[in-house]
Amino acid sequence: MEKIGDSVDASIFKGHGSYGIMGAVVVAVLVPLVLSVILVGKKNVKQRAVPVQVSGEAGLAIRNARSAKLVDVPWEGATTMAALFEQSCKKHSRERFLGTRKLISRDFVTASDGRKFEKLHLGEYQWETYGQVFDRACNFASGLVKLGHDVDTRVAIFSETRAEWLIAFQGCFRQNISVVTIYASLGEDALIHSLNETQVSALICDSKQLKKLAAVCSSLKTIKNVIYFEDDDTGSDLNSSKNMSTWTVTPFSEVEKLGKGSPVHPSLPIKKDIAVVMYTSGSTGLPKGVMITHGNLVATAAAVMTVIPKLGSNDVYLAYLPLAHVFELAAESVMLAAGCAIGYGSALTLTDTSNKIMKGTKGDASSLEPTLMAAVPAILDRVRDGVSKKVEEKGGFAKKLFSIGI
């Protein structure tokens, strides 16, 4: 019996012949192959970079595929950090901006080996709006001028990451004062080198750095003013300031009051002005200062906003990395530009099981519930260890599920 498939094949063969069938096969193979080669050729000639001149040398700058041209500002008119800050603060004036946890109590726990560990009981975040922060930055800027600082002077910030760090930073830009950023963990030799090399005339620090400054004050040649951030335990640290008789030592809040009582018209920068002289951590020798312009910082913020385009006032950022490093500074500049809220914490109070968190107290992440945070491998290891510790405590089925999940 002849199969239906056989009869169909035979009719095709008779109707077109062997040459016709072979021709059809060749066309079916070659046409897609030729088209794919053409399309690949077109893709290869697509422009993927823009020719640029860097220090007189020709090079290429890679562009974001989402933008048809080079992005250097987040929006028209925001060409400097001062302009970006002012415009964003006015746009989001009633939105919450900077948040800090209130210290409720401090205790010391003695370990089995005799070592003492500080434990903190921290409250909920307390917030300042964009409008309030802008007013404080303006007041601080005017206070600096009253203390004798102008565009020809440099101010250094030598402190852990906190809300006042950013306020002081932006306040300096209201008078086009370049800021020197220094890691709070730097040793004495690196600190002396950084401050003398940049001929800093005013140093802004947290109160616990006063002891370190008192030890090196005789080696610092150009400093005239020291402005310190007040803390709950500032009193004991202030005793060190008695050794700084050649300097004027003033609380940060007093500089704000001075400026509020005698406001000064701003002297704003242009994009080519130096915004920051950022010193490295000094891990391979004496730290090196990197000069960064206002245009550099603003362009970085603008570029990141194209990669994360839906940032807005509903987002909350957890800030805990050193602002003296460009990674954290760039991240907070992006949050500022997008109108996000920034809650400040620390690497040692990040989770419920962090070293400095008192038992029963929420860590920064639990209290803030951020939608965004920057991270480095060492911090992610701490977060993992904290989660693993909680899972171990639960044990049983929860532990097994966790083990399967990772």
Our CA angle for 212, 214, 219, nearest 5°, is 95
Question: Is the distance from CB of 161 to CB of 346 less than 8 angstroms?
Answer: yes
Dihedral sign for Cα atoms in the order 184, 319, 131, 77: positive
pLDDT for the residue 285: 81
CA dihedral 71, 76, 80, 83 (to 10 degrees): -150
Q: What is the pLDDT of residues 348-392, one digit of tens each?
A: 999 898 889 998 999 999 999 999 999 888 888 877 887 887 788
pTM: 0.81
- The residue ranking higher by pLDDT, 354 or 239, is 354
To the nearest whole percent, how much of the chain has pLDDT over 70? 84
Q: What is the pLDDT of residues 89-116, one digit of tens each?
A: 999 999 999 999 999 999 988 888 888 8
* 95 backbone φψ class: left, alpha, beta (φ>0; ψ -120 to 50): beta
Superfamily the domain 81-345 falls into: ANL, N-terminal domain (3.40.50.12780)
pLDDT of 144 strictly over 70:
yes
What interhelical angle do 377-394 and 396-405 show, nearest 10? 150
Could you identify the residue written with the tokens 């097994």?
Answer: 400
Reported as a pLDDT band with limits 50, 70 and 90, residue 157 is very high
Reported as a pLDDT band with limits 50, 70 and 90, residue 4 is very low
Question: Is the distance from CB of 83 to CB of 322 less than 8 angstroms?
Answer: no
pLDDT for the residue 73: 94
Using the CB atoms, write b or e for 157-178: b if 16+ within 10 Å. Answer: bbbbbbbbbbbbbbbbbbbbbb
Question: Is the distance from CB of 26 to CB of 37 less than 8 angstroms?
Answer: no
Domain ranges of the chain: 81-345
Please compute the mean of the pLDDT values over residues 72-83 and round it to a whole number: 96
* Per-residue CA distances from 207 to 193, 197, 226, 249, 250 (Å): 21, 23, 10, 11, 11
pLDDT for the residue 233: 66
What interhelical angle do 130-146 and 163-173 show, nearest 10? 60
In sequence order, what are the residues at sequence separation of 6 or more whose Cβ sits closer than 8 angstroms to the Cβ of residue 2? none
In sequence order, what are the residues at sequence separation of 6 or more whose Cβ sits closer than 8 angstroms to the Cβ of residue 67? 306
- The residue ranking higher by pLDDT, 268 or 43, is 268
* 391 backbone φψ class: left, alpha, beta (φ>0; ψ -120 to 50): alpha
Q: What is the pLDDT of residues 275-295, one digit of tens each?
A: 999 998 777 788 999 999 999
- The residue ranking higher by pLDDT, 314 or 31, is 314
